[in-house]
Amino acid sequence: MKVDPYKNIAKFYDRLFEPLNRGLRALGMKMLPPEEGMQILDVGCGTGIHLQLYQRAGCIISGIDLSPSMLLVARNRLGDSANLCLGDASKMPYQDKRFDLIIMSTVLHEMPPGVRDAVIDESKRTCKQDGRILLIDFHPGPIQPLKGWINKTIILMAEIAAGRKHFKNYRDFINRQGLASLISTHRLLVVQEKIVAGGNVVLYLLSL
């Protein structure tokens, strides 16, 4: 039986990280404003707090996550209308070309390199030809003086606290130039790019 690393933190996760992530979600929604009836998939949906914004906009929402504890919080938040799946995003149970928007927010850096590539491939498979992929994750820089280095220190402390395996994957992600390398490798097209938090976080809106 797989250990759920979020078992002891799921109920408190949003209380701890919501102040940091709220602004990122708002920026992402400005990059592609939701419309009623859009099919949305959140890969690594966690507590469902991101999907809730799209649900309120009248979108049809789906989410996949490996953590039973986080999905329990998401189900309580989103109700029965949300299509939530406990599963591996490198082998997603969705049909080809289903989603108008696929979101991956601060999740790719947690994964080993091979898994990251498989998740991107699955996202390309399940995204509509005219759909979009929104990636939000840590950025290797350049880091801006003072504000950027303060944010960098906070990020490093959080990643170290998440455990040895998590930190190893984060370091590999940054050393491989983060999202930019994945985007280039998988031949995705950048529609919009926003670098924030003093150079520590980047948002990419992508097309196939």
Over residues 2-22, the pLDDT tens digits come to 677 778 777 877 777 777 789
Over residues 118-154, the pLDDT tens digits come to 999 999 999 999 999 999 999 999 999 999 999 999 9
The DSSP string of 94-139 is: --TT-EEEEEEES-GGGS-HHHHHHHHHHHHHHEEEEEEEEEEEE-
The residue type of 171 is R
Structure tokens at 122: 């699955």
**Cα-based angle 25, 14, 27 (whole degrees, multiple of 5):** 10
- Domains in the chain, start-ordered, CATH in brackets? 10-207 (3.40.50.150)
- Asked whether the predicted pLDDT for residue 1 surpasses 50, the reply is no
> Bridge partners of 196?
201
- Provide the percentage of residues in the chain whose pLDDT is more than 70: 99
Q: What is the pLDDT of residue 152?
A: 96
Query: How many Å from the N-terminal Cα to the C-terminal Cα in the chain?
Result: 36
Of 15 and 77, more confident: 77
Say if residues 5 and 30 touch (Cβ distance below 8 Å).
Answer: no
- Tell me what the mean pLDDT of segment 64-82 comes to: 95
Q: For residue 203, give Cα distances in angstroms to 6, 27, 137, 195.
A: 25, 8, 7, 6
